[in-house]
Amino acid sequence: MITKKFANKKPDLHFYWQLFKSTFLISAFTVGGGYVIIPLLKAKYVDEYGWLDDKETLSLVAVSQSMPGVVAVNASIILGYRMAGIKGTLTALLATVLPPLVTLSIIAYFYNFFAANRYIQYILKGMQCGATALIVNVAINMIKKEIEKKLLIPLLILTGTFIAALFFNINIMYLVFIDGLIGLFFLRAKKYN
Amino acid sequence: MIYLELFTEFVKVGLFCVGGGYASMPLIQAQVVDIHHWLSMSEFVNIFTISQMTPGPIGINASTFAGMKIAGISGAIAATAGFVTPSLIIGIILARLFLKYGDIGIVKGALNGLRPAVIALICAAGISFIVLALWNTEGIPNKLLAFDFSGLIILTISIIAVKKNIGVILVLIGSGILGLFMGIGETMFFH
């Protein structure tokens, strides 16, 4: 969220449509919690539109996770603002809120059918496996890149946070806060940027 | 005015929901079940299940569905609007600050520390996702050999599809369809 690459570009209708379409799709396909948006964000904004790079995506997710609310909503609010100010934020927010509003209004009427239906369970189970494949792929690529950089402190942060989150169930808020502090004190040199 | 009330109560939920969608559940429960008695506990459990099952951010799903149950479509809109309002305000402030002060050393340093942290969290989430896909449990599975065979097949095919770069959303739709066929096949041959 640091570069101002796009700050000078005047957003046109096509741009707002892209922003709306992409945040709408990301919201509609977030299956099973916040982390699934990472591969989605990467596919849309890094690979397809070129609005962000990998580093910015990670910063965006980190900030979205440390503020109150849901990661997908927070990410779209910040991204929308960065790309096109308040108008961008409102576009992205509306697009994020619409899919759940529509799906759940429909489902609320057919609740019993939906909850008990075996075929729907099968589809959801399948999508969950698909989401797993996406996350694992992103995780492996990111670790590879991080190891290639051969910087000690980031690798220590990575390992320590991983162990603390997976094996000790330490609250993510604390982890993010501590890692931010470590960065603030020890990672200010140019080579870490 | 039920809509205004829904809005303000969900502002509170949104404000104190820190750490992702699941964190919103106990807060929503406190508001709609314990304090206001808008819904019964079993209705709330249904909301929780549905929010997890349906695609979309869990916190938004839950707010929308709770609002819907309490006061129809307008209720859903009021609750969801309330839920996202704190994020909206805080998000705009943070985004402004980052655009303005993002080049300052301390901020860069903090973000440099957060990036490996997020990679670590993605890896941890990846592992819990694998456990959930293969053993259908959360946490460490107690029977390592008793894994879900169809889960393994869908996961393997999805990984190949991801490597072939067919597109994130196609992978999700495809794995859903595959799950449907595997499930139907399994019931036909094994039950």
Question: Shortest Cα distance from B25 to chain A (angstroms)?
Answer: 12
Residues A94, A101: Cα–Cα separation, whole Å:
10
pLDDT of residue A2: 44
CB A76 within 8 A of CB A64: no
Q: Which of A100, A128, A185 sits opposite B64 (nearest CB)?
A: A100
Give the separation between CA A96 and CA B10, rounded to whole angstroms: 17
pLDDT in tens, chain B (191 residues): 899 999 999 999 888 876 666 667 778 888 888 889 998 887 887 787 777 777 888 889 889 989 998 998 999 999 999 999 999 999 999 889 888 887 777 778 888 888 888 888 888 888 888 888 888 776 677 777 778 888 999 999 999 998 998 888 888 889 999 999 999 988 888 76
CA–CA distance, A170 with A160 (Å, rounded to integer)? 11
- Under 8 Å between Cβ of B22 and A172: no
Report the C-alpha gap between B182 and B159 in whole angstroms: 17
Sign (positive/negative) of CA torsion A163, A164, A166, A167?
A: positive
What does the pLDDT look like over B97-108, one tens digit per residue? 888 887 777 778
Nearest to B99 among A82, A135, A136 (CB): A82
Whether A147 and chain B come into contact, CB under 8 Å, resolves to no
Question: Would you give the DSSP letter of residue A7?
Answer: T
pTM of the shown model:
0.79
A84-94 burial: b if 16+ Cβ within 10 Å, else e = bbeebbbbbbe
Report the distance separating Cα B136 and Cα A12, nearest Å: 46
DSSP letter at B32?
A: I
The CA distance from B30 to B25, in Å, is 9
Give the tens place of pLDDT for each residue, B48-74: 777 777 788 888 988 998 999 899 899
Contact residues, chain A, for B91 at CB < 8 Å: 67, 69, 74, 77-78, 81, 89
Best A132, A138, A152 residue to mutate vs chain B (most B CBs within 10 Å): A132
Q: Which residues contact A154 (CB under 8 A, 6 or more apart)?
A: A146, A187, A192, B112, B113, B115, B116
* Nearest C-alpha in A relative to B169: A29
A contacts of B49 (beta carbons < 8 Å): 115
Between chains, do B118 and A65 touch, taking CB under 8 Å as contact? yes
In which residue ranges of chain A is pLDDT below 70?
A: 1-10, 32-34
pLDDT for B152: 93
Percent helix / strand / coil, chain B, rounded to 5: 80, 0, 20
The neighbour count for residue B42, using CB atoms within 10 Å, is 8
> Cβ of A166 and B180 within 8 Å?
no
Q: Which of A74, A155, A193 sits opposite B87 (nearest CB)?
A: A74
CA distance A171 to A182: 17
Here the ipTM equals: 0.78
Q: Do A27 and A91 contact (CB within 8 A), yes or no?
A: no
Shortest alpha-carbon distance between residue A50 and chain B (Å)? 16
Amino acid type, B73:
I
Of B172, B61, B70, residue with least CA distance to A100:
B61
Q: Which residues of A touch B130 (CB under 8 A)?
A: 132, 136
Nearest to B20 among A70, A89, A138 (CB): A70
Please name the residue that has the structure tokens 């570009």: A9
A-B C-beta contacts closer than 8 Å: 361
Q: What is the pLDDT of residue B3?
A: 94
Q: Residue B23: which residues within 8 A CB-CB, separation 6 or more?
A: B17, B59
**Which of B52, B28, B23 lies closest to B132, judged by CA?**
B52
Please report the beta strands in chain B, taking only residues with DSSP state E, as ranges in sequence order: none
Cβ–Cβ of B103/A2 closer than 8 Å? yes
What gap in Å lies between CA A162 and CA B123, rounded to an integer? 7
B27, B92, B119, B155: which to substitute to probe chain A, counting the most A Cβ within 10 Å? B119
Chain A residue numbers touching B96 (CB-CB < 8 A): 81
How close A163 comes to chain B (CA, Å)? Answer: 8
pLDDT in tens, A12-42: 889 999 999 999 999 988 876 667 888 888 8
Q: Which residues of B touch A99 (CB under 8 A)?
A: 55-56
d(CA A52, CA A58): 10
Please give the Cα distance from B97 to A63 (Å, whole number): 12
Instruction: Tell me the nearest-neighbour CA distance from A72 into chain B, angstroms.
Output: 6
Q: Does A49 touch chain B (CB under 8 A)?
A: no
Which of A:154-193 have CB within 8 Å of B?
A: 154-155, 157-162, 165-166, 171-173, 175-176, 179-188, 192-193
Question: Cα(B6)–Cα(B69) distance, rounded to whole angstroms?
Answer: 12
